[in-house]
Structure formats: structure tokens, C-alpha cells
Structure 1
Amino acid sequence: MIVRARAPLRLGLAGGGTDVSPYCDRHTGFVMNVTIDKFAYATLDAAPSGMAEFHALDAQSVQQIDPVAVDAGPGPQQLMRGVYLHVADRLLGGRRPALRIRTHSDAPPGSGLGSSSTMVVALVTAFNEYFGLALGEYEIAQLAYEIERKGLALAGGKQDQYAAAFGGFNFMEFYADDRVIVNPLRIKEWVWNELEASLVLYFTGVSRASAKIIDEQSRNIREGRSDSLDAMHRLKQEAVQMKEALLRGDLARFGQVMQSGWQAKKQSASSITNPMIDELEALAFANGAHAAKVSGAGGGGFMMFVCDPAERIRLVRALAGPGGTVYDTHFTQHGASSWKVA
């Protein structure tokens, strides 16, 4: 039997960072995000070698390990090994099957689209299908969060796992004790279409280590720095404002909230922006954009720009100059899915 799964990557529209401890534990976090037609993929089947096989297809890296010797140490296959161990030890009663696990993604690590967490969701979804674990969206997202943030101790928040599991436009609430509420939004078709036509997604060509930025944000909150804390409070409220703008179809307000949220985001940690990002933002504004932000923690990866659809071609041509890549992007309505091939 072959099982495949995929999970959609996400754009963080507003409130990103308020889903990270200790802020969400102390103040409650709100995040507005949407999934796009870029995916993380996982395939599971019985390993012909009788070993546990981990194939990171993007990195062209393969590990074959005796199942009893699998660990969760660093390396290209760490996420795969972490999911394998967690599922085997906690959900399969300690049984470690000889599986071949293969993964790849439509976006590189450090892209700002939640690629690592989305990959964990795709893997958990594949295991759920393969072993008939009957996990729902909340359970898949929470399990993926526990594996990545607690089991592997990789820094980050909670929004990526829930976005990948649920899909679509979601307003998310993050409380203490890892309690999360996902509120799917019913976006009118014309709003959906107009926003797709207005949004330009641009890969800077520079991947970044989000953990460093997240560590700085968390440290600022723990130390009670008022400027960082005030910025996080504004980000949280802007997630509410963006939700209201989307539901009302007020796309002018959507752009205003995105831009003010980006200004607040830059005040939460010094490494969120840099001269390259500032120059790209200035170039975009000179060529029709009226809102901009970096998706994810910041520092690089993908940037989002909002413009009048009539200005889109001018903006895309201008962005081609610095050497990055404009991605054709559409929103998705559905979250992680899995299917049996044979």
C-alpha cells in the first residue's frame, strides 16, 4: 500500500508572532492567515530494504536506518525521523515499522510560508491515513505542534500547523496551555477573486533562520520591553481589523491594516527587516504597491505586496530587476489531505 498526503503552505496576513510563547500564554494571540496552492508532500509505503528509510527529495538525501536505532538528531531528515518516532512510540505502542518515507515541498525552508511546520502536518496526515489513526484537524495540528516545538525543540509558534491542517481563510485564537480556536471565514467570491488579483507574492531568493528572529521576539517579551510588547498588542488588534475588512469586502482597509501591521512587526525585533527588504519595499511602492510585508518571521523569504490589479504588470516587471521571483499564487479552501494509491 502506498499513501500520499499533502498540506498547503500559508500566508501570514496579520497577527503573526502573537501565536508564539510567551506572548500568547500571557496575553492571548490572534492571527489572520490563508493557505495557498503551494504544498508540502509526503509519501509512505513499506520499505523494500526492511529498514526505516527517510528520503528528503529536495535535499537529495537518503538515510536507511535500523528502525530500533532511529533518533531525532539534526539533519535533512530530522522532521521525518521526529514524526516517525513520535507516532511509533506514542500511537503504535512502540512498534517501529520498516517504512519508506519520502518528502518534498513547493517552497524552500526559511521561505516564510511555514514550510517546515506544513511538512510535519503532511507527514502526520500520511501516518494518520496509513495506520487508520482517525485523527481530526485539531488533533493533527496539535500533534504536529508537539512534535516540532516540544519533541524536536524547534523554535516557532502554532499558526502554521493549524493553517496547514484546516486550510482556507482562518482567524485563529491562541491561549495559554496550548489551547487554540480556529474560526474559518466565509469570504465572498468577489472578495476572494479581487484579493488574488491584487496580491503579488515575491521570493527574495534569501532564505532565513526564523528561530533567531523568534528568539529575539520571545526574549523581548520575557524581559518586558514595552516597545516590543506594544508592537505585539498592535499586531494582535490588526488581526481583528483584517478579519473585519475581509468579511466586509473592504480591500482598501485590508491594505491599510497589512501596512500598519508590517510597521508594528518591524518594531517587535530588530532582525525582522534589513536593507534588502527596505529597498524592495521602496521599489514596490514606486511601482504601484500600496501595502507590503514579509510573510512569516521576517528577515527574508517571501514578501507580499498589494496593488490595484491594473498596476500588477508594472509591479511584477519592476520586481524582476533585483533578481527575485514572482510566484503565481491562488488561495486554497481545503487543508491537509491524504489518499491511498494501491
Structure 2
Amino acid sequence: MIIRSKAPLRLGLAGGGTDVSPYSDLYGGLVLNATINLYAYCTIEETDDGFVRIISDDFGSDEKIPLEPFIKPDGPSKLVKGVFNRIVKDFRIPIKPFKVTIFSDAPVGSGLGASSTMVVCIVKAFVEWYNLPLGDYEISRLAYEVERKDLNLQGGKQDQYAAAFGGFNYMEFLQNDLVIVNPLKIKRWIVDELEASMLLYFTGSSRSSANIIQEQQKNVSEGDGGAIEATHQLKQGAIDMKWALLKGDMKSFAKILGASWENKKKMASAINNSAIQSAMDVALAAGAISGKVSGAGGGGFIMFMVEPTKKKKVVKALEELDGYVMPFEFTDGGVHGWKIYD
């Protein structure tokens, strides 16, 4: 039997960073995000050789490990190992040898939530394989705990829930890791206008978000007034952008996106850099209205808002830099999985 799953990556439109502890525990976080037609993929194939084989095409790794109830979660395949260990522990499933292959449409460190989306995708594959009774909230929570607690990887909470639920979501992050996902019903013409008005540009460099997030957490823990006030403003931006989106007010949407970028830069020193600033300057000079990095910052993808009739001009200007423009569309569906019987 073969089990496959896929989960969509997301754009962090507003409020990103307010989903990270301790801010979300102290003040509560709000995030507006939306999934796009770039995906993480996982395939599990049952075998009979007594081993676990893990292939990660993103890292170019191929690892074969003796099948045990616990596998040390290290190396480029640690996400698979972490999920396997947790599923075996929590559900006491009978372990069987298998081969798993994972890959993503976007590079790790892209700012699209690729790592967390991959964890959700892997969890969903095991849910399908073993018919586990987990819904979207349970899959999101389990993926979050595997990544943030079991593997001690730095980050927030929005990515797992975005990948599981899909679509446009307005999320609330409260104490004790409580998350409330509010799906937004956006009219088709508004989605079309947003796609027409938005450019997604890859800076040409990925980054590790861990150091940026650690500095952000440190600033909040130590009571850095400037960083905390900037994060408050990011949260307000999520509220304001939600209403602008629901009404189809692209001018306000673009203004809030730009203001969110200015506030985001105040959260940690490494969020902006010369490559990002160069892309910002070139796009704005060519006619873009505003821009913001998706994710923690430091690299990855930048979202630009552009008046649609000027889009071609902005694309041409950005193509002179080292990165590239990524075509995309917004998507409704969240993670899903299926089985193929021999």
C-alpha cells in the first residue's frame, strides 16, 4: 500500500510574530494568513525489509535506519523521525517497516512556513496510514508539539494551522497554546483582485528563522518597549487588514502591508538586510505600492502590492536582481491524504 499527502504553504499577510511565545501568552496574538498553490508532499510506502528509509529530496538525503519504536531525531530527516516517534508513543501503533519520501515546492527558509507545513503533511500521511482519529485542530496541535517541543525548533504557531485548514484564516493565539481558527469567506472578485495586485518575489536566499525568533522572544521577555509596541501594532494590523480584505479595499490593504513591514523591522535586528532592502527599493521605484517579507524575515519571499496595470513594469525591474518572481494563486483546501492499493 502507498499513502500520499500534500499540504499548502502559506503567505503571512499580517500579524506574523504575534503567534510566538511569550508574546502570545502575555498579550494574545492575531494573525491573518492565506494558503497558496505551492505544497509540501509526503509519500509512505509499506516495505518488508525491517528498516525505515527516509528520502528528503529538498536536502538530497537518503537514510536507512533499523526499525525501532524510537528513532533518534537528528539529521536532515529529523522531521519524519520526530513525527514517527510521537505517533508511536501517543497511539501505540504496531510499527511496520516503511519508506518515506518528502519534498516541497519551495526551499526551506523561504518564509512560507515550509518546515511546519512539511510536519503537518507527514502527520497527515500517518493519520491516513493508521486511520487515526485526528481532525484539523488535532493535526495542527500535534504538528506544533512535535516541531516546537519534541524537536525544540524555534518558531510560532500559525504555520501548522494554516497548512491543516487551508484558505484565508484569521487566527487567535491565546495562553496555554490555545488557538482559534476563524476561516474567512472572501468573495471571488476580491481574491481575483488581490492576486492581480500582488507579486511574490524570492530574494534568492533562504535563511534560518531561529536566531531572528530568539531575538524577538528575548526582546519581549526583557520588556523591550520598542519591540513590544511594534508587535502590538502588528496585531492591530491583522485586525485592520481583515476588514480591508473582507471589503475588497486594496488601497487600505496595501497601506497596512507596508506599515506592518515597518513595524516588523523593529522586532529584531536581522529581519531586514541589504538583499531585502535592495528588492524593496527596486520594486517601489518601479511602481509597487508596498511590500513585506513573508515569515520571520532575513530572506525568503517578499510580497509586493502593485496596481495591476503596473505589474509588468515591476516584474521587469525585479528580474534584474538575483532572485525571481514566483507565480501563485490562493487556494482553499488544507492538508489532505489518500491511499493507493497495490
Q: Which TM bucket (shorter chain)? A: over 0.9
1:33 alignment partner in structure 2: 33
> What is the CA–CA distance in structure 1 between the aligned matches of 2:278 and 2:106, rounded to whole Å?
23
2:47 alignment partner in structure 1: 47
> What is the CA–CA distance in structure 2 between the aligned matches of 1:322 and 1:161, rounded to whole Å?
32
Give the CA deviation at 1:149: 0.2
Give the CA deviation at 1:241: 0.4
Give the CA deviation at 1:47: 2.4
> What is the CA–CA distance in structure 1 between the aligned matches of 2:13 and 2:20, rounded to whole Å?
16
* Deviation readout 1:18-64 (Å, 9 max, x if unpaired): 00000000000000000000000001121243211111122221111
* Deviation readout 1:290-332 (Å, 9 max, x if unpaired): 0101110000011110101111111111101112111110000
Conserved 8 A contact 1:47-1:53: no
* Deviation readout 1:180-207 (Å, 9 max, x if unpaired): 0000001011100000011100111111
2:217 alignment partner in structure 1: 218
Q: What is the one-letter code of the residue matched to 2:295?
A: G
> How many residue pairs get matched?
341
TM-score normalised according to structure 1 size: 0.98
1:292 is the counterpart of 2:291: yes
1:58 alignment partner in structure 2: 58
1:139 alignment partner in structure 2: 138
1:87 alignment partner in structure 2: 87
* Deviation readout 1:102-125 (Å, 9 max, x if unpaired): 101001110000000000000001
> What is the CA–CA distance in structure 1 between the aligned matches of 2:15 and 2:47, rounded to whole Å?
42
1:193 is the counterpart of 2:192: yes
> What is the CA–CA distance in structure 1 between the aligned matches of 2:72 and 2:314, rounded to whole Å?
44
1:3 alignment partner in structure 2: 3
> What is the CA–CA distance in structure 2 between the aligned matches of 1:262 and 1:19, rounded to whole Å?
16
> What is the CA–CA distance in structure 1 between the aligned matches of 2:211 and 2:167, rounded to whole Å?
29
Give the CA deviation at 1:8: 0.2
2:177 alignment partner in structure 1: 178
> What is the CA–CA distance in structure 1 between the aligned matches of 2:58 and 2:171, rounded to whole Å?
31
Give the CA deviation at 1:101: 1.1
2:151 alignment partner in structure 1: 152
2:236 alignment partner in structure 1: 237
* Deviation readout 1:164-183 (Å, 9 max, x if unpaired): 00000000000010100000
> What is the CA–CA distance in structure 2 between the aligned matches of 1:74 and 1:46, rounded to whole Å?
23
Aligned alpha-carbon RMSD (Å): 1.0
1:17 alignment partner in structure 2: 17
Q: What is the one-letter code of the residue matched to 2:116?
A: S
> What is the CA–CA distance in structure 2 between the aligned matches of 1:309 and 1:49, rounded to whole Å?
56
Q: How does 1:67-82 map to 2 (within 5 A)?
A: 67-68=67-68, 70-82=70-82
Q: Does the residue aligned with 1:97 lie in a helix, a strand or coil?
A: coil
> What is the CA–CA distance in structure 2 between the aligned matches of 1:291 and 1:340, rounded to whole Å?
44
TM-score normalised according to structure 2 size: 0.98
> What is the aligned-residue identity percentage?
50
1:312 alignment partner in structure 2: 311
Structure 2 unaligned runs (5+)?
Answer: none
Give the CA deviation at 1:69: 7.2
Q: Does the residue aligned with 2:62 lie in a helix, a strand or coil?
A: strand
Change (3 A) 1:96 1:48: closer
* Deviation readout 1:209-239 (Å, 9 max, x if unpaired): 1000000000000000000000000000100
> What is the CA–CA distance in structure 1 between the aligned matches of 2:72 and 2:310, rounded to whole Å?
48
Give the CA deviation at 1:96: 2.7
